[in-house]
Amino acid sequence: MRDIVAPESARWQAFTRIFGHNAAAAGYQLLIPPLMEDLGVFTRIGEATDVVTKEMYDFTDKGGRRVALRPEFTAGVCRAYAELRPLTPWKVWYSGSNFRYEKPQRGRYRQFDQVGVEVLGSDDAYVDVEVIALAWDFYRQLGLQQVTLVINSLGEPADRAAYVEALRQHFEAAGTTLSEQSRETLLKNPLRVLDSKRGEDAGSVESAPTISEFWSPEAGEHFATVQSGLTDLGIPFTLNQRLVRGLDYYRRTTFEFQGGTLDSAQNALGGGGRYDGLVESLGGPPTPGIGFSLGVDRTLLACSDEGVFSAPELAVQVFVVDTTGGREAMAITHELRRAGITADRAYDNRSMKAQMKAADRSGAQLAVIVGTDEQTAAAAMIRPMRGGEQFRVERNELVEQLRSQLTGHQ
Whole-angstrom Cα distance, residue 55 to residue 192?
16
**Three-class DSSP category at 283:** coil
The reply to whether 298 sits near ligand AMP by the rule CB under 6 A is yes
274 binds ligand AMP (CB under 6 A): no
Question: CB-wise, 74 or 317, nearer to ligand AMP?
Answer: 74
Between 105 and 351, whose beta carbon lies closer to ligand AMP?
105
Terminal Cα-to-Cα distance of the chain (whole angstroms): 40
Candidate list 121, 155, 270, 284; residue touching ligand AMP; CB under 6 A: 270
CA-closest candidate to residue 382, choices 395, 373, 391: 391
| Cross-strand pairs, 369 | 321, 381
Which residues, listed in sequence order, are joined to residue 273 by a DSSP beta bridge?
254, 291
Q: Closer to ligand AMP at the Cβ: 174 or 247?
A: 247
Smallest gap, in angstroms, from Cβ of residue 326 to ligand AMP?
45
Stretch that binds ligand AMP, among 42-50, 139-147, 209-217, 293-301 (CB under 6 A): 293-301
Q: Which span (104-112, 276-284, 302-310, 395-403) binds ligand AMP, by CB under 6 A?
A: 104-112
CB 30 within 8 A of CB 314: no
Contacting residue, 293, 317, 323, 333, with ligand AMP by CB under 6 A: 293
CB atoms within 10 A of CB 297: 21
Residue number with the smallest Cβ distance to ligand AMP: 295
Contact with ligand AMP (CB under 6 A): which of 12, 90, 94, 109?
109
Q: Which among 178-186, 224-232, 268-276, 402-410 is the span making contact with ligand AMP, rule CB under 6 A?
A: 268-276
Any idea of the CA torsion for 96, 27, 91, 292, to the nearest 10 degrees?
-50
Output phi, psi for 303, to 5 deg: -60, -45
Task: Rule CB under 6 A: say whether 76 interacts with ligand AMP.
Answer: no
- Strand 366-370, strand 318-322: pairing: parallel
Which parts of this chain interact with ligand AMP (CB under 6 A)? Answer: 72, 100, 102, 108-109, 112, 114, 246, 268-271, 293, 295, 297-298
